[in-house]
Amino acid sequence: MSSSALSYVHPTTDSPWGTYLAQVDRVVPYLGKLDRWVETLKRPKRSLIVDVPIEMDDGSIAHFEGYRVQHNLSRGPGKGGVRFHPDVTLEEVMALSAWMTVKCAAVNLPYGGAKGGIRVDPKKLSRTELEKVTRRYTSEIGLIIGPHSDIPAPDVNTNGQIMAWMMDTYSMNVGATATGVVTGKPIHLGGSLGRVKATGRGVFVTGREAARRLGLKLEGARVAVQGFGNVGSVAAELFAQAGAKVVAVQDHTGTLVNDKGFDVAALISHSQSQGGIAGFHSGEQVGNDEFWNVHCDVLIPAALEGQLTAERARKLSARLVLEGANGPTVPEADDILAERGVLVVPDVICNAGGVTVSYFEWVQDFSSFFWSEEEIYQRLDRIMVGALDNIWEKSTQHGITLRTATFAVACERILIAREERGLYP
């Protein structure tokens, strides 16, 4: 048995899968008679581990391990990204697929949850090698993906080009162009306008609504952003446009602090051209641990999971945490933040803008009729605001955190679907 499989059998409480299981346990008291189905949420429907062999540019043969997990398909086909990262494990992908199940149900999309990944450092591959890895992986998981069964999308270290290769590979293998097999594609291959900025926009929209309910004015509010990729940078840009000051930013190249607030547009331009925020002309570079000590009103963790630990939660100054990343807050930190009166808008609603516009893309591909960017954002904002309103009502009704309320709303929808479909045979 692989180490990844062992992690599945014995998850630790601070692992991604352990965090997810703890979140499910907390929601059981609010499921009523549906709690008889709760084990459905704790067991992925299907986990696929594949070998991804390719011939490298130097003629050698390299093997990479790939995964695709379908956590739950009760509400529709699986939906979830593919990440290329040297630390990807089966357990991580399982947790991410489970969070996708909850996320899709939270915003009431007709999807189940899935996720994929390859344990590889794409920065060490040439473009040719990257294409080979992508195409071979797509062929290997082609057994379970498809426009009506499981629809991959971009995630960490993957993008529109990766999706184009995945779509082309799947299409060649089935003998027909299948644009709906992935989302996040280039526009001219059936991609949707608004998709690139959708996740960051969702973070901003839910943050704006939460701040309004807290009585926190965005004008002059101090914002700290961890992770300055597609999600963090877009959220930072929108908050700056709303009058907030982005006073701290952290990415894989370091941490910058500017008490007067950054010129976010200039910082984004620098980051894109230089591969990170390091070396930006404005702000002071400090140690990475100092990021958590910066005085701020709003914190946006938009990097990887498990970043907001109990120790960091105890000293955090923010009144509002917006989870742009998946699983950035460990359960113990959640409790500490709740005790301190810090409002956390959880990942499964906060960063659901991406999957929502992915749904729009999927629908547009089937109809071959495409919407304007203005229509996309109007529909996105309406869905995100409506979902948060519903979750806020559940939170107020039961006196529970937004995370538990989100899980309560989502898990009820998932388990009702499971119960009504019944068990086959």
Is 115 annotated in the active site?
A: yes
DSSP result, 228-249: -SHHHHHHHHHHHHTT-EEEEE
**Within 13 Å of residue 70, how many CA atoms lie on the same side as its CB?**
21
DSSP code at position 417:
H
Q: What are the φ and ψ backbone dihedral angles of 64, each rounded to 5 degrees?
A: -125, 150
- Give 240's contacts (C-beta < 8 A, 6+ positions apart): 223, 246, 261, 262, 264, 265
Q: Are 21 and 330 in contact (CB under 8 A)?
A: no
d(CA 141, CA 322): 33
Which residue in 79, 115, 185, 197 is the catalytic one?
115
DSSP result, 129-196: HHHHHHHHHHHHHTTT-BTTTEEEEE-TT--HHHHHHHHHHHHHHHTS--GGG-SS--GGGT--TT-T
d(CA 196, CA 91): 27
d(CA 127, CA 123): 9
Count of helix runs (H) and strand runs (E) in the chain: 15, 12
| Beta bridge partners of residue 38, listed in sequence order | none
Which residue numbers are catalytic? Answer: 115
